[in-house]
Amino acid sequence: MVVSASLPGSMTVIQWLDKQNNESVLFASFGSGGTLSTKQMTELAWGLELSQQKFVWVVRPPSDGDADSAYLNSTGKETRGMSEYLPEGFLTRTKDMDLVVPMWANQVEILGHSSLGGFLTHCGWNSTMESLTNGVPMIAWPLHAEQKMNAAMLTEELGVAIRPAVLPTKKLVKREEIQGMVRILMQTKEGKPIEEKAKKLKMSAENALSEGGSSYNSICELVKDIQSR
């Protein structure tokens, strides 16, 4: 199903999420500017469909480069209809299991919803922090800048994410691997430790931000220091 904020009376993302079971939906988004190649978008669409997992996917027009290209799209406009760059019949075949959102969605609101169980993300810093503070485990798909470092931290140090065997900006991530990653994160026992670590980090973040917590105290000390100058 495709939703658009510009269509009066159309179902909103949150209304759709309200109808789903707890932790049953995967959210896929590459930020406000991340794009995939046409071939990679095709593989991602097939991987999501084959996983048979409910998902919300924020879709932006693909880049016009090679299969391994991904760049920051600054146009902010959808220049082609989705039917031109998604697999033929994809929207029809997945209409009962997905929500496709053109261009943009309220990520903070979505990640905080009880039906969210996973996040396929480009690992931008804001997206990383929003996912961690909501206790949502991730599939790390870095595209550029600091995102590769963030992906390494999430997978190797924190253990709250999994990632493709290849670097998405260098090689095509095939549909079979995408299907497998989604199932690991959302459907199998193998993903449970990742989920548990994500929830523990959420609790740690809440404690740090609450009164008397480390982050709370640090901010208070900073304010006192500024006021004393």
pLDDT classification of 211: cutoffs 50, 70, 90:
confident
pLDDT surpassing 70 at residue 212: yes
**Where exactly are the structural domains of the chain?**
13-227
Is a pLDDT exceeding 50 seen at residue 176?
Answer: yes
Say yes or no to pLDDT of 24 above 90: yes
Question: What residue type is assigned to position 19 of the chain?
Answer: K
Of the candidates 34, 145, 43, 159, the one whose C-alpha atom is nearest the C-alpha of residue 90 is 43
Averaged over 181-190, what is the pLDDT? 95
Is the distance from CB of 38 to CB of 62 less than 8 angstroms? yes
Interatomic CA distance for residues 68 and 63, integer angstroms: 10
Q: Which two tokens stand for residue 14?
A: 């949150």
Cα 31 to Cα 125: distance, rounded to the nearest angstrom: 10
Closest CA to 168 of 31, 73, 71, 84: 71
pLDDT tier, 74 (very low <50, low <70, confident <90, very high otherwise): very low
- 3-state per-residue secondary structure call for 169-198: CCCCCCHHHHHHHHHHHHHCHHHHHHHHHH
Q: Tell me, what's the pLDDT at 79?
A: 39
What's the whole-model pTM score?
0.84
* Residue 66: band (very low, low, confident or very high) from pLDDT cuts 50, 70, 90: very low
Return the CATH number of the domain spanning residue range 13-227: 3.40.50.2000
- Pick from 2-6, 39-43, 89-93, 100-104: least confident: 2-6
Rounded Cα–Cα distance for residues 15 and 19 (Å): 7
pLDDT for the residue 209: 67
Residue 185 near residue 194, CB atoms below 8 Å: yes
| pLDDT band, residue 4 (cuts 50/70/90) | low
pLDDT over 50 (residue 81): yes
* Nearest partner of 205 among 112, 122, 113, 139, judged by Cα: 112
Q: At what angle do helices 192-209 and 214-227 cross, to 10 degrees?
A: 30
Q: Determine contact, residues 137/160, Cβ cutoff 8 Å.
A: yes
Phi, psi of 4 (to 5 degrees): -150, 130
Assign 98 to helix, strand or coil. Answer: strand
Give the C-alpha separation, 121 to 141, whole Å: 6
Q: What is the mean pLDDT of residues 23-35?
A: 92
